[in-house]
Amino acid sequence: MEYAEFLSRMKEIKAMGYVKSHRTGDTGIGKTLEDLLGIEENNIAGPDFSTYELKAARKDSVSMLTLFTKAPEPKGANKRLLEAFGYRQRTRLGDQTKMLIHREEKIDESSVPTRDKELHVTVDSTKPNSVGLKLEIKSEKIIVVNEKGVDAYYDSDSLRQAFEKKYEKLIYVLAEHKKEQTSELFWYNEAFLLHGFDSERFLAFVGDGLVKLDLRLGHYEDGRPHDHGTCFRVLPKYLPQCFQGVQKIL
């Protein structure tokens, strides 16, 4: 599907008014739009159609959107963060450990073998999180500050490369939504064409706590470390401001 056909189809979808979600939960808004456009769902990295990435959001949503996935530098930083700040993988807990958690008793995480650890936490610039990690901006770098001296950071060049690899051009569709009985309905009535990474604005958003970093680290059953998708996330209303070019197309 080319851009002109997409735009024509989006005008038809807007004219349809509210449509019933094709899937329950947060992902229903994207799945329903893809179905209406005739875009086949897949997990392959790359544009959704032609050279365009497609993203949809509820207008008043407070659920953060994933911007892009990117492990911090230098190489191996995630592995060292997992070793230093990880805790016992919840899927591998024994009955005794589960009982301690249920009673809210403290577990000695220092005795947990590294291969049995996970680290699923959100990190931002407002305050240290539950394991003591915090983001700071220094000399156009995003630093994962911690008291154990683990070196982990993002520089502006690597951020730009990750962003532009994900978003050569992004079409961002917004929808009104409402509930009827047990179903959610969407009215896709606004869309923007976004392009160009605004690194200055992005760093400012990180500094203000509006963009957050999710660490999603664990291990496979055989003990190999596994990054489930370390990513930066942002509230839907701030997404367009991460781009240099913003054009309303619907």
What pLDDT digit, counting tens, does each position of 65-86 carry?
A: 999 999 999 999 999 999 999 9
Model pTM?
0.82
Residue 166's pLDDT is 85
Q: Is the pLDDT confidence value at 244 over 90?
A: yes
Class of domain 3-248: alpha beta
Instruction: For the chain, count helices (H), then strands (E).
Output: 6, 14
Give the mean model confidence (pLDDT) for residues 167-181. Answer: 92
Residue 224's pLDDT is 82
Domain ranges of the chain: 3-248
Give the mean model confidence (pLDDT) for residues 41-54. Answer: 67
57 pLDDT tier (thresholds 50, 70, 90):
very high
The tokens describing 90, both together, are 């919840």
| Cβ atoms 11, 250 nearer than 8 A | yes
21 pLDDT tier (thresholds 50, 70, 90):
very high
What is d(CA 61, CA 67) in angstroms, rounded to the nearest whole number?
A: 15
Q: What residue type is 200 in one-letter code? A: E
Q: Is the pLDDT confidence value at 43 over 60?
A: no
The tokens describing 85, both together, are 């700040």
